[in-house]
């Protein structure tokens, strides 16, 4: 891998480490999932607007481009609601493990969306991730709905990352993040009536939390959202959607370790769980290695083809 690619790959892992903390924050914040997403996206939107205005980067976009970015924001808003709802009804570990299936869904969905051939190794590594999850939940399948919502969040995140990859070469990373945070906030507000009618406790929103909730929400909004997502958009300029999502499979490993340290014994899992996460880690490590080997082979083939042409 080239030096710049290694730097971006390491930076991507740091961002995933930050994201791994979000499930822990979901357990620390006493507000319900939808209210958490509302505050997260609202604070992030206002902060990004202020930064863009200060940096004089608030450039006008075509209406069609704005709608695309807002639509991607709808996807990330849906992803976050499912993510925090999963953490709410189960554990941070279950949520993070379920979200790690994102790479598998990407291996199926990215070729369909971008109309390219399916790479066998991408599917194979995605299946290793699923096998790791099978090992985990064949012994600890105690949180069915939490896992279902986490997998739903993974599918939404997969679509988001694939579509987001189409924006990174066109617009400033901060501009992309701003419109997507606005889109996520709008989606959450539009979801409020449905949520209050069918899911909210007592049929009403719970927007008032504790003083510590405000602290955790600021960390969630500013560090885990504004900073992390802006940097991730920049990194996506040099990594593929599948590499992005496969690296995100490190999120359960980082997040579970943080959960055990911060939340205590309630987040400790069985030996089978750690075997499953080791399988996920194996797939994450293998991807850039296989990708690098394939690139070198393609370069050698191209070089030989040129030599044959010149000698003929």
pLDDT at 310 over 90: no
* Alpha helices, H only, the chain: 3-28, 33-55, 63-89, 92-99, 102-114, 120-140, 144-164, 173-198, 211-218, 228-235, 241-248, 251-263, 271-311
- d(CA 170, CA 8) in angstroms, rounded, equals 19
Q: What sign results for the dihedral spanned by CA atoms 117, 120, 125, 129?
A: positive
Tens of pLDDT, residue by residue over 21-38, are 898 999 999 999 999 999
Within 8 A by CB and 6+ apart from 246, the residues are 103, 106, 125, 126, 129, 283, 284, 287
156 CB-contact burial (10 Å; exposed 0-12 / middle 13-18 / buried 19+):
buried
> Residue 137 corresponds to which tokens in the numbers above?
């939940």
CA separation, residue 248 to residues 55, 98, 210 (Å): 30, 12, 31
Confidence of residue 20 (pLDDT cuts 50, 70, 90): confident
Higher pLDDT, 126 or 71: 71
pLDDT at 3 over 60: no
Higher pLDDT, 301 or 76: 76
Tens of pLDDT, residue by residue over 81-110, are 999 999 898 888 888 878 877 877 887 788
Q: What sign results for the dihedral spanned by CA atoms 262, 235, 103, 188?
A: positive
pLDDT at residue 242 in the model = 63
Confidence of residue 153 (pLDDT cuts 50, 70, 90): very high
Higher pLDDT, 77 or 285: 77
Higher pLDDT, 70 or 144: 70
pLDDT at residue 5 in the model = 66
Average pLDDT for 195-205:
85
- d(CA 1, CA 46) in angstroms, rounded, equals 38
pLDDT at residue 254 in the model = 84
Tens of pLDDT, residue by residue over 215-256, are 999 999 999 988 887 787 778 777 776 677 667 767 777 888
- d(CA 135, CA 65) in angstroms, rounded, equals 43
> By C-alpha distance, which of 92, 123, 94 is closest to 107?
123
pLDDT at residue 226 in the model = 87
User: Structural domain of residue 50, as residue ranges?
Assistant: 3-311
Helix/strand/coil for 56: coil
CB contact at 8 A, 123 and 107: yes
**How many degrees, rounded to 5, is the angle at CA 21 between CA 244 and CA 289?**
30
Number of separate domains in the chain: 1
Average pLDDT for 112-141:
79
pLDDT at 205 over 70: yes
- d(CA 302, CA 26) in angstroms, rounded, equals 50
pLDDT at residue 229 in the model = 79
> By C-alpha distance, which of 5, 8, 16 is closest to 291?
5
> By C-alpha distance, which of 239, 252, 242, 233 is closest to 109?
242
pLDDT at residue 210 in the model = 92
Q: Is the pTM of this model over 0.85?
A: no
């Amino acid at each position: 891998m080239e030096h710049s690619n290694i730097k971006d790959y390491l930076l991507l892992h740091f961002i995933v480490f930050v994201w791994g903390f979000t499930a822990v924050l979901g357990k620390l914040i006493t507000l319900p999932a939808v209210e958490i997403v509302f505050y997260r996206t609202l604070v992030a939107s206002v902060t990004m607007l202020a930064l863009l205005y200060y940096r004089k980067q608030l450039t006008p976009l075509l209406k069609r481009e704005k709608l695309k970015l807002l639509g991607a924001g709808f996807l990330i808003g849906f992803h976050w609601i499912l993510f925090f709802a999963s953490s709410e009804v189960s554990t941070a570990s279950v949520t993070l493990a379920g979200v790690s299936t994102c790479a598998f869904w990407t291996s199926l969905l990215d070729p369909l969306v971008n109309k390219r051939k399916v790479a066998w190794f991408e599917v194979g590594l995605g299946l290793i991730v699923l096998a790791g999850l099978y090992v985990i939940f064949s012994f600890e399948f105690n949180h069915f709905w939490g896992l279902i919502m986490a997998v739903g969040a993974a599918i939404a995140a997969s679509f988001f990352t694939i579509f987001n990859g189409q924006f990174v070469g066109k617009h400033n990373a901060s501009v992309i993040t701003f419109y997507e945070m606005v889109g996520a906030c709008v989606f959450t507000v539009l979801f409020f009536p449905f949520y209050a009618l069918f899911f909210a406790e007592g049929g009403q929103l719970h927007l008032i939390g504790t003083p510590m909730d405000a602290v955790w929400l600021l960390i969630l909004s500013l560090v885990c959202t504004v900073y992390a997502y802006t940097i991730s958009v920049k990194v996506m300029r040099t990594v593929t959607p599948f590499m992005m999502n496969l690296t995100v499979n490190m999120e359960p490993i980082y997040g579970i370790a943080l959960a055990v340290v911060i939340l205590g014994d309630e987040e400790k899992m069985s030996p089978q769980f750690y075997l499953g996460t080791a399988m996920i880690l194996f797939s994450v490590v293998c991807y850039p290695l296989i990708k690098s080997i394939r690139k070198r082979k393609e370069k050698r083939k191209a070089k030989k083809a040129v030599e044959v042409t010149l000698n003929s």
